Amino acid sequence: MDEYQLQEDRSPSYAQHAAADFETYVKELEQLQKIDFVLVELTLYLDTHPTDMQAIQQYNQLAQKRRVMAEAFELKFGPLMSFGHSFSRYPWQWVQTPWPWQV
């Protein structure tokens, strides 16, 4: 596979940030997974309880908080999403490891 790799720097995306090692990556990923879990739960709940005002408020508040968290995470560890939903440094960060099953 290596001969097809045009980019010489193959270090994982989190290694490019001074304060970011594997342990902080896993820890901060888990924080994101936690808030995202609550948002998934609220989404499915609201799908069958669309008039629960309190749940909608909670959803909007957490969605706001999630946006801030994800931006901070991406600055440190690289993009979470492709197709224009995240930004990239040079070289193109999306293709850098680790992919989820490699963590």
Partner 1 sequence: MWLYEKKLQYPVKVSKCDPKMAKFLMEQYGGADGELSAALRYLNQRYTIPDRVIGLLTDIGTEEFAHLEMIATMIYKLTKDSDVEQLKAAGLGAHYAAHDKALFYSNAAGSPWTATYIQAKGDPIADLYEDIAAEEKARATYQWLIDMTDDVDLIDSLTFLREREIIHSQRFREAVDILKADQQTKKIF
- For position 12 contacting partner 1 by CB under 8 A, the verdict is no
CB of 4 to partner 1, least distance (A): 19
**Contact window for partner 1 (CB under 8 A) among 3-11, 15-23, 44-52, 58-66:** 44-52
Residue indicated by tokens 């990923």: 29
Q: Report CA Rg, the chain.
A: 17
Long-range contacts of 63-70 (CB under 8 A, 24+ apart): 63/39, 65/35, 66/32, 66/35, 66/36, 66/39, 69/31, 69/32, 69/35, 70/32
- For position 43 contacting partner 1 by CB under 8 A, the verdict is yes
- For position 68 contacting partner 1 by CB under 8 A, the verdict is no
- CA dihedral sign, ordered 67, 102, 2, 19: positive
CB of 9 to partner 1, least distance (A): 18
- For position 103 contacting partner 1 by CB under 8 A, the verdict is yes
By the criterion CB under 8 A, which residues form the site for partner 1? 26, 29-30, 32-33, 36-37, 40-41, 43-45, 47-49, 78-83, 85, 94, 99-101, 103
